[in-house]
Amino acid sequence: MANGIQPPVTEGAQVQRAPMSRTVRFTKKKETPGCKVFQEQEVEGQPIVIGTLYVKNWFAGAATSVTVTISKE
Protein backbone atom coordinates (compact mmCIF):
# COMPACT_ATOMS: atom_id res chain seq x y z
CA MET A 1 0.00 0.00 0.00
CA ALA A 2 1.06 3.60 -0.53
CA ASN A 3 1.36 4.47 3.17
CA GLY A 4 3.43 1.37 4.02
CA ILE A 5 0.67 -0.20 6.13
CA GLN A 6 -0.43 -3.64 5.12
CA PRO A 7 -3.91 -4.94 5.99
CA PRO A 8 -4.31 -8.30 7.76
CA VAL A 9 -3.90 -11.29 5.48
CA THR A 10 -7.01 -13.44 5.22
CA GLU A 11 -6.81 -17.18 4.74
CA GLY A 12 -10.22 -18.80 4.53
CA ALA A 13 -12.33 -17.54 7.42
CA GLN A 14 -9.34 -16.69 9.66
CA VAL A 15 -7.56 -13.34 9.81
CA GLN A 16 -3.84 -13.19 10.64
CA ARG A 17 -3.19 -10.18 12.84
CA ALA A 18 0.06 -8.34 13.48
CA PRO A 19 2.06 -9.66 16.46
CA MET A 20 1.61 -7.97 19.86
CA SER A 21 5.31 -7.05 19.95
CA ARG A 22 8.23 -6.87 17.59
CA THR A 23 11.96 -6.32 17.97
CA VAL A 24 13.53 -4.17 15.27
CA ARG A 25 17.15 -3.29 14.54
CA PHE A 26 18.42 0.15 13.53
CA THR A 27 21.73 1.29 12.07
CA LYS A 28 23.20 4.78 12.35
CA LYS A 29 22.26 7.04 9.45
CA LYS A 30 23.71 10.39 10.58
CA GLU A 31 24.43 12.62 13.57
CA THR A 32 23.00 15.99 14.54
CA PRO A 33 24.36 18.25 17.30
CA GLY A 34 21.99 16.75 19.89
CA CYS A 35 21.20 13.24 18.67
CA LYS A 36 22.05 10.32 16.44
CA VAL A 37 19.62 9.32 13.70
CA PHE A 38 19.07 5.60 13.13
CA GLN A 39 17.26 3.92 10.22
CA GLU A 40 15.25 0.73 10.69
CA GLN A 41 16.68 -2.28 8.88
CA GLU A 42 14.15 -3.88 6.57
CA VAL A 43 13.27 -7.54 7.01
CA GLU A 44 12.21 -9.22 3.79
CA GLY A 45 8.47 -9.79 3.65
CA GLN A 46 7.69 -7.52 6.64
CA PRO A 47 6.60 -3.86 6.60
CA ILE A 48 8.64 -1.17 8.34
CA VAL A 49 7.38 -0.66 11.92
CA ILE A 50 9.09 2.57 13.07
CA GLY A 51 11.24 3.92 10.21
CA THR A 52 13.56 6.64 11.51
CA LEU A 53 14.57 6.78 15.19
CA TYR A 54 16.19 9.78 16.91
CA VAL A 55 18.23 8.98 20.05
CA LYS A 56 19.82 11.66 22.23
CA ASN A 57 23.62 11.65 22.24
CA TRP A 58 23.86 11.26 26.01
CA PHE A 59 22.26 7.82 25.64
CA ALA A 60 23.47 6.72 22.19
CA GLY A 61 27.13 7.46 22.89
CA ALA A 62 29.29 5.80 20.21
CA ALA A 63 26.61 3.27 19.19
CA THR A 64 26.41 2.44 15.49
CA SER A 65 23.31 0.26 15.90
CA VAL A 66 20.42 -0.11 18.35
CA THR A 67 17.66 -2.64 18.90
CA VAL A 68 14.15 -1.66 20.02
CA THR A 69 11.29 -3.89 21.17
CA ILE A 70 7.87 -2.32 20.76
CA SER A 71 4.62 -3.72 22.20
CA LYS A 72 0.97 -2.91 21.55
CA GLU A 73 -1.38 -2.56 24.51
Integer CA distances (angstroms), 73 to 1, 10, 13, 17, 19, in order: 25, 23, 25, 14, 11
pTM here is: 0.71
Task: Give the whole-number percent of the chain exceeding pLDDT 90.
Answer: 66
For the stretch 40-57, pLDDT in tens is: 999 999 899 999 999 999
